[in-house]
Amino acid sequence: MLDRDLQAKTTLLMLEVTSHCNMHCTFCPSDDLVRRKGHVSDEQAVQLIRAAHELAPGIPIMFNVLGEPFLNKKLFDYIALCEECGVNVALITNITLLTEERLQKLYRFSNVHMNMSLHTPTDKAFAERGYKKISGFREYMEMVCNTVEAKFRHRSKAGLEIYLASELTENLMQNDNGSRLWTMFEDPKEYEAGWNLVAERFTELSARIEREYPEAFAQGMEEARRDLAPQIAAREIVFRAEELPEWKLENQCSGWMCAPGVIIRRKGFGMWAYHEKFVQRHAQPGRFVFHEERSEPFTCGGALTFGILSNGTYTLCCQDVEGEMDIGNIATLDIREAFHSRRRAEIIENCATSRICRRCAGNTMILDTRPIQSEKQAIDKFGFGWHIHEAHLFAKGGRWTGGSAKSYFYTRMDAESLAIEFRSPFPSDTAFRVLASAYDPATKKFTLEESAEFYGRRDRMVREEIPLNLRRNTFYRLTLLSPTFVPKQLYGSGDERRLGLAVTSLELAGKPFEELSNKVAAQPAPGAAIPGEGLSAYQFPILS
C-alpha cells in the first residue's frame, strides 16, 4: 500500500545516470567524491524509471545529482523509456557534449526539459571549469546558442533554461581568508562585462529566431504568456535582459524569456554540499575547519526529493553527494520499500536526523591557526544564538544575541581576558555569564574550562574586560548567556525577535606568544600573521 502522504510530498525524483563529468569546476565537489564513480547500472535505472509513475505521479525524473548525463551512452534509451512510461525528464548539462547528432536525437522527445549550466561568462571564470577542449567563453557561448537554435530548427517543444552564476554576498561560510570559500568574479566589472556579452548575444539570437521561425516564435510566446501568467505578473519572468535582477535567493531566481521556452536565469552561487574534501581543497593548509551542526529538529523542502546515485544508494537531496542519508541501496532494498521507509519519513519530518542536513543547515567556519603578533585577537565567528549583523546597531554595528549565543575562536596569542563591548536593556544588577569551552579533537567534544559573571549598565554602551585563562593553540567555544526580551512586547515595536545583549565588539586581549620574540625578524609586517609550518597544533583537522 502506497503512502499517499509521502507521494503527495515528493517534489522530484533523481536518477544520477553517471557521476563522471568531463569538466572539473572548482565550485563543484565532483572531483572530491569519495564514493566510486561510474554510470548507474542499467537494471537499476530501468527499475526507477518504471516505478516513477507509481511512486510520484506527474513528478519528473532529473537525470543528475552530480555528473554530466550525456557521458552515459544509455541516456537516450532512458529518456525513451520515460516517454513510454509518461514521465517527464529534467537534464542538467554542461553543454559540451551537445553535438548536432545528439541534439537531433534529443529534440525528437516530447518529455525533455534541459537546464544548461553556462555559469561562467568570462574567459577567466570559464578557466575555473577545467575544460581544455574549448578555447574560451565565446566558443562555449556559441555552443549554447546553437543548442537554442536547434530547438527551433527541430520544432522541439523542449523547455530550455540557461543558468549563469552570480555570487551571493553572504553564505553560511565564515572564513578567515575572506567571507567566501572562493570568489569567482573578483572584479564586479568583469562579471558585468560577461553578463553584457551574454545579454547581447541572446538578444541577437532571439531576433534571428523570430525572423527565421516567425510562426513558431509568435505561437510559442502566446502560449508562454498564457501558461506563465502568474510568474509574469509577479515579475518572476521578464522579456528583456535589462529587466532581470542580478539574483534573488538561491531558489528564487528570476528568468528572462529570450525566446519561447528559453529562459535565462542568474543563479546565486552559495556553498554546494559541505563536503569535507571539497572544503579542504579550498581552505589553505593549517586552517582549522569547524562545522557547527544544527541539532534542533527542523524540516526542509530539499528532503522531498527521492532518487538514487549512480552506485544505487538512495538519497533525498542533491546536497547528499556521497549518499550518507542511510536509506539503503537499490541493490538490496526494494525501491518501494525505500520510498516508504521509516528512515525516509524520519528525515522528511526532522532533517536533524541526518548529518548532511545538520551540516547544511549549520555554520561552517575556517579559522587561521597561525600566531599573530598582536595584543588583540578579534572573535568574529558567530554560531547559533546570534542574530544577523546590523551595520548600524547603536551607531557602531554589531549583533544581538538571542540569550545564549555561541562564538568560536582559535587562540593565536596568549589571551588573558575577553573584552566585550555591549549594551543591555536589563537592570544594571542583572548578572550575565560567559563560558569558555575547549575543544578536544580526540573526543570531538567541548569541555567547560572557564566561566565568569559580568554586568552591564542599563541602556548604556559599556566595555568590560573579563579575565579568562585560556590555553594557546586551542579551539574554543565562547557562550554568552543573558535573559531575553521581545521588543514588540516591551516597546510595542514591530520587532518580534527574542533578544539578549547588543554586542558591538568581542575580542581577546593579551600578548603575542613569547616565542614569537625570536621570530620577529622573520615577520613580513608588524601585526601580520607569521607564515610557516608546524605552528598550529593541528595540520588540517576537519571537525564535526
User: Which residues form the interface with ligand SF4 (CB under 6 A)?
Assistant: 21, 23-25, 28, 30, 66-68, 94, 117, 300, 302-303, 317, 319-320, 351, 356-357, 360-361
Residue placing its CB nearer to ligand SF4 in the complex, 66 or 478: 66
For 130, the grid coordinates are 577545467
What is the spatial distance between Cα 493 and Cα 95, in angstroms, rounded to a whole number?
52
CA end-to-end span of the chain: 39
Number of C-beta neighbours around residue 433 at 10 A: 13
Q: Dmax over Cα atoms in the chain, in whole Å?
A: 80
AA identity, residue 535: L
The one-character DSSP state at 401 is B
Residue placing its CB nearer to ligand SF4 in the complex, 21 or 434: 21
Question: Smallest distance from the beta carbon of 28 to ligand SF4, in angstroms?
Answer: 3
Residue placing its CB nearer to ligand SF4 in the complex, 354 or 479: 354
Question: Smallest distance from the beta carbon of 435 to ligand SF4, in angstroms?
Answer: 28
Angle of helix 75-85 relative to helix 42-55, nearest 10 degrees, comes to 30
Q: Which DSSP string do the residues of 6-65 spell out, in sequence order?
A: HHHH--EEEE-SBS--S---TT-GGGG--SPP-BPPHHHHHHHHHHHHHHSTT--EE--S
Residue placing its CB nearer to ligand SF4 in the complex, 29 or 425: 29
Residue placing its CB nearer to ligand SF4 in the complex, 24 or 389: 24
Question: Smallest distance from the beta carbon of 35 to ligand SF4, in angstroms?
Answer: 14
Residue placing its CB nearer to ligand SF4 in the complex, 130 or 541: 130
Question: Smallest distance from the beta carbon of 84 to ligand SF4, in angstroms?
Answer: 28
AA identity, residue 117: S
Question: Smallest distance from the beta carbon of 267 to ligand SF4, in angstroms?
Answer: 12
For 184, the grid coordinates are 569567482
What is the spatial distance between Cα 27 and Cα 278, in angstroms, rounded to a whole number?
9
Cα–Cα distance list, 157 to 112, 254, 417 (Å): 8, 21, 67
Please tell me whether residue 161 adopts helix, strand or coil conformation: strand
Residue placing its CB nearer to ligand SF4 in the complex, 140 or 426: 140
Residue placing its CB nearer to ligand SF4 in the complex, 149 or 293: 293
Question: Smallest distance from the beta carbon of 19 to ligand SF4, in angstroms?
Answer: 9
Cα–Cα distance list, 169 to 106, 182, 269 (Å): 37, 12, 9
Scanning 95-243, the segments in alpha helix (DSSP H) are: 100-106, 123-127, 137-153, 188-212, 214-227, 229-233
Question: Smallest distance from the beta carbon of 220 to ligand SF4, in angstroms?
Answer: 28
Question: Smallest distance from the beta carbon of 76 to ligand SF4, in angstroms?
Answer: 20
Question: Smallest distance from the beta carbon of 166 to ligand SF4, in angstroms?
Answer: 15
Number of C-beta neighbours around residue 281 at 10 A: 14
Residue placing its CB nearer to ligand SF4 in the complex, 355 or 471: 355
